[in-house]
Amino acid sequence: MASPSTAKILEVSHVAPFTASPESPTHFILPLTFFDILWFKVSPVERVFFYSLPETKDSFLSSVLPKLKHTLSLTLQYFLPLAGKLTWPQDSQKPVVLYTPGDVVSVSVAESNAEFDLLASNHAFQASMVRPLVSPLHVTETGASVIALQITVFPHYGFSIGLTTHHAVLDGKSMTMFMKSWAYLSKENPPLLPELTPFYDRTAIIEPYGFDTIRFLNNWLGNPGLTPSDCRNNPKLFEFIQFQSQDEPSHLYRATFELGRSDIDKLRQLVSSNWDKTHISPKPKLHLSSFVLTFAYVFDCILKATEGDESKKKVFLGFTADYRNRLTPPVSDNYFGSCVGFKMTYDNMRGHFFGSEEDSLTAVAVKISGLVNELGNQNDVLKEAEYLLSNMGSIVSEKSHGVGVAGSPRFGVYNIDFGWGRPKKVSVISIENGSISMAESRDGDGGVEVGLVLKKQQMDLFASAFATGLSNILSIV
């Protein structure tokens, strides 16, 4: 039997899109847009959905697993790019996602005797314990798979679905649409509902003036100025750039913290009150959404928990933003692909406060609010990306630490029900690089849950700062 921190692979299956006739599906080519290229070499996003189900191993393998595979095949007929490959044909001016009949999605089936209730809880545990629940993408010198799935059974407790996705092909919203479609077809017959049917028209994305795919990819590769042929034939083109934590993996712990609707309302009142008392002029109007307030509060607690850590002397923050409704004209909410830009600070947020220590939360909220208000159009996205690439060396250093955000409270991941109930837990695994994850609270009260990974002592300090801060706010507001 596998140890608690491993998963025993039982089989590796290959699931093809359902075909109604021998003539279909046909070849499918999905050109990349500049949004996709921005994320071309960023590490894959890994998520795990935990579902409670008191089935034996044999019962799960004989009844639940076949249904999941069958409905996955039905779903893939609508999501052909997921079965395809990210590649760069010789006759193409830029990389594409190419599906050809016979392409499949790899599905690993595993068994784990790890403590299901712990992994699906908010409690702190070693981050390495969930790593075996996801499978890597297949990457070669000529291309990369788009998605890899792993279904892991925890006998008598439940199962998990681990999802690894290529960030240059689909963003969090597209990933969620796929999972919701798979869950829908597990309970209903085709066709998909219109709101779950992906929109593939790439002409809806207008490329910013001056964007050069080859130049941008060469900058990713660290070889600016090379020819398209040099770029296409670079053996490391499809490899990912790893932004790994400098901490030893065995020292890292994962935990989840929640802010209820009332907690967020209290934070809003406190930040607004503190902001009104400042003498800054002119005084911009703050954007105090649940996202801004949650990120600000968690980031402030992270600063407190990592104070004195030599590897985190410089701390930056950033986040991604969905641009489907920000483009002119806007694109469909069902647009499939990567349609997110990002904003980040380039100044050290540690000590970036306009008043006393008690004002640190307000200062961080003001900073994040300003970044949200600066979100513009596709041209602004390109400027931000090019600035980041040109300053990557100075930003990524041994004493710098970036805190980003994966996921969103708007995705509705806790509504993804395959017929055995809603997820007990949804975790973003790929946040060991310092990012946090966000999702809506499972109980549906309008709150937000946040996942993060820190060293054990820092996690304890974070938990104390998180609880103490909320207690103090309740006494003030």
Catalytic residues: 167, 417
Query: Whole-angstrom Cα distance, residue 86 to residue 169?
Result: 8
Query: Whole-angstrom Cα distance, residue 466 to residue 477?
Result: 17
Total number of residues shown for the chain? 477
Crossing angle between the packed helical segments 456-476 and 290-305, to the nearest 10 degrees: 130
The CB density around residue 90, as the number of other CB atoms within 10 Å, is 7
Report DSSP state, residue 157: T
Edge-to-edge strands of the sheet including 85-87?
A: 28-31, 96-99, 85-87, 143-145, 139-140
Query: Whole-angstrom Cα distance, residue 403 to residue 401?
Result: 7
* Cβ burial 367-402 (10 Å sphere, 16+ → b, else e): bbbebbeebeebebbbebbbeeeeeeeebeeeebbb
The reply to whether omega before 282 is within 30° of 0 (cis) is: yes
- 50, 122 Cβ separation under 8 angstroms: no
Crossing angle between the packed helical segments 360-373 and 290-305, to the nearest 10 degrees: 130
Comparing CA positions, the residue from 60, 69, 57 lying closest to residue 12 is: 69
R_g of the chain, CA atoms, integer Å: 22
Longest Cα separation, the chain: 72
Report DSSP state, residue 241: B
CA distance readout (Å), 392 to 173, 212, 241, 402 = 27, 19, 12, 12
- 81, 98 Cβ separation under 8 angstroms: no
* Token output for 81: 């790019």
Looking up tokens 């692909």 gives 337
DSSP string for 261-284: HHHHHHHHHHHHHHHHH---SS-P
Residue 416, SS3? coil
The CB density around residue 246, as the number of other CB atoms within 10 Å, is 13
